[in-house]
Amino acid sequence: MITLHHCHQTRSMRVLWLLNELDIEFSLRVHPFDKSLRSEEFLTRSPAGRVPALEMNGETLWESGAIVEVLCERFPERELGRIQGEIERPDYLVWLHFAETISQHTASLTQQHIMLYEDHMRSPTVMKLEAARLKKCYAAIEGRLSTPVENRDYLLTSGFSAADICVGQAVYMARHFASLDAFPAVAEWYQRITERPAFQGALPPEGAELLYERAFYPIPGQ
């Protein structure tokens, strides 16, 4: 049995999306995004007190990128990973883990806009820099998707993979702070992958407590 410990609108969403794509049986335990993640009980599952944590066959795994790699290796028949020896394996790993670069800048902006409650604690300069860095990330994806090769509908020429899941989920979060308006190839790709039923099933349900109360958080003064 597989159990995913999850908070809405966090990195654990990429694991939930992947589990939906794998079409395997699992249970979902949703946690509030608060200090309960640092309880003694939860720290036995994730020692840094963060989601995701995945219980599977007596093992407990944490770190979303590692969980994605393990799940793709355990369920290769879905062909969402690229195994060692495949020609696209290096590209797959690069894009799979590029999601963390995007997420790092999004996390900084989340702290500035949401976690710091007092205006005097926030830095418009940091917000501006991090939003610009997100757009640099979008530019990297735009360049990849604009490469003139056949069937460039996804990050890998061979088709949809867990790399699209991880980067797509990171972009889902980043769009709260940086628009895709100047990146048409990214916007088209993002629409394509988020129309998938597995992504839709990973979204917070109606009425759920959300981390992001707004669809977009502009930089103060802009």
pLDDT one-digit tens code per residue, 54-75: 999 999 999 999 999 999 999 9
CA 184 to chain centre: 20
- CA–CA separation, 124 vs 219, rounded Å? 6
Q: Which fold has domain 2-78?
A: Glutaredoxin (3.40.30)
Mean pLDDT over 120-140 rounds to: 96
- CA–CA separation, 62 vs 69, rounded Å? 12
Contact 13, 172 (CB under 8 A): yes
Ramachandran angles phi, psi of 119, nearest 5°: -60, -35
The percent of residues above 70 in pLDDT, for the chain, comes to: 98
Question: Which one, of 97, 130, 88, lies nearest residue 219 by Cα?
Answer: 130
Block residue for tokens 């990214």: 186
Amino acid of residue 109 = L
Question: Which one, of 152, 157, 73, 66, lies nearest residue 81 by Cα?
Answer: 73
Q: Which fold has domain 89-200?
A: Glutathione S-transferase Yfyf (Class Pi); Chain A, domain 2 (1.20.1050)
> How is residue 54 annotated by DSSP?
E
The band of 207, judged by pLDDT with boundaries at 50, 70 and 90, is very high
Domains 2-78 and 89-200 share a fold: no
Contact 108, 200 (CB under 8 A): no
What is the structure's pLDDT at 142?
Answer: 96
* Annotated domain spans of the chain: 2-78, 89-200
For the chain, how big is the Rg over CA atoms in Å?
Answer: 18
Does residue 208 have a pLDDT over 90? yes
Classified as helix, coil or strand, 193 is helix
